Amino acid sequence: MNTALAGFLWAGFIATTLGTAAFWLVRAQGITRLSPTRHLGGFVFRDPYRPQTDALGIVMLYAAGTLLLPPLYEAILVQAGWASWRGGALLGLVVGIILAALLPITSRAVRAIRSGLMPEPGNLGLGWGWGTPLAIVLAHVVYGGVLLAVLTALT
């Protein structure tokens, strides 16, 4: 296996795991009802409470975090001259803010929300609790910072 690809996969796996853990730490406080895996799986499955919904959501989360985002983050940050954990955290901050802002729009494509089995997120996801934007942004800051820290350590 190409060492660059292996580095992206390893860094992406670690960053996705820690970013997701940061999100769930906030969720455990009861200040958001958003479940990223249920939300992602809800793009495909109508019923958010089927185990397949969460299972597919986990696969989608890790596919994006290990395969799609690492080379994109690195390319952006190398071009900007910010290829460090700080640059990764800053890019994660920007991505988290954008995703929180787009949540009401992207949620229209979630079958589970359209069917009425999951509530609408509202602006910034506030319909799912006041901590939803905080959890989204924190998870992406952790993801970006860890991703670039691991990638930097591997090179």
Residue 30 zone, left/alpha/beta (φ > 0; ψ -120 to 50; rest): left
pLDDT for residue 2: 65
Tokens of 110: 């979630």
| Structure-token match 């890790």, residue found | 62
pLDDT for residue 125: 94
pLDDT for residue 155: 80
State the pTM of this model: 0.94
pLDDT for residue 5: 86
The answer for residues whose C-beta is within 8 angstroms of residue 132's C-beta and 6 or more apart is 31, 32, 33, 34, 100, 103, 121, 124, 125, 126
pLDDT for residue 42: 95
Output the tens digit of pLDDT for each of the chain's 155 residues. 567 888 899 999 999 999 999 999 999 999 999 999 999 999 999 999 999 999 999 999 999 999 999 999 999 999 999 999 999 999 999 999 999 999 999 999 999 999 999 999 999 999 999 999 999 999 999 999 999 999 999 98
pLDDT for residue 4: 82
Asked if 31 and 138 touch (Cβ cutoff 8 Å), the reply is no
pLDDT for residue 1: 55
CA distance 71 to 77: 10
Asked if 113 and 119 touch (Cβ cutoff 8 Å), the reply is yes
Q: Is the CA virtual torsion 34, 127, 113, 142 positive or negative?
A: negative
Q: Which of 131, 128, 144, 135 has the alpha carbon at shortest distance from 22?
A: 135
Residue ranges covered by each domain of the chain: 3-154
